[in-house]
Structure 1
């Protein structure tokens, strides 16, 4: 099924802000669900900004969340939508060079999570 124009606008607006694009990129390329506090540290953004961005991405249908104890983890929503698959493919090919610091901080944060 083809997406409606309004749905397409919602997706593109959600991804048009750099922090939201970075969140989606990290979730797609780090192959791990990530909680709010980890995103805050990785992106060096205030909690209220990260929470607001996650809400926008979730409302756009790009993210899902799962509560584990006191933590809420976010991950990329699985979908059969051809449109969303094209969006994910476009985001996933953004150069890692543009995300070097974020990748390093995220890998470090994920390593400390397991301890």
Structure 2
């Protein structure tokens, strides 16, 4: 799985935050005041994300509305899985990952394991 560029990441974060089918203009406005990209730049990035399979779109009048194909959590899990599978020592990578967690993150991991492995 390819990592997203900085602007692609910021656009995806806004699409997830909006949490509904959104126009280019709505995504552009959600980027403010942190960024001030041109409308055409946002349109290009949304189209790239659509072509990468991260967004779906539908025509509404003369404009497309974009929404995420999967949740931010599901996307993050997919990235983690891809990195983990690519590693030489999966157990070692997992140990290093857990060692770097805060107590709150470890408790969240325990909760997730209880849900996933009843």
TM-score class, shorter-chain normalisation, is: 0.5 to 0.7
Deviation at 1:65, TM superposition (A): 0.3
Distance 1:25 1:88 in 2: 15
Q: 1:68: which partner in 2?
A: 60
Q: 2:46: which partner in 1?
A: 54
CA RMSD, 1 decimal:
2.6
Which of the pair has more CA radius of gyration? 2
Which of residues 18, 28, 39 is equivalent to 2:6? 18
Contact in 1 for aligned 2:23/2:64 (Cα 8 Å): yes
Relative contact order, higher structure (CA 8 A, sep 6+)? 1
Q: Structure 1 regions of 5+ residues with no counterpart?
A: 1-7, 90-115
Deviations 1:11-57 (A, max 9, x none): 31xx1x22211111122222212101122233231022112211221
Runs of 4+ in 1 over 4 A off after TM superposition: none
TM superposition score normalised by structure 1:
0.53
Structure 1 position 30 matched with structure 2 position 18: yes
Count, aligned residues = 74
Distance 1:51 1:61 in 2: 15
TM superposition score normalised by structure 2:
0.52
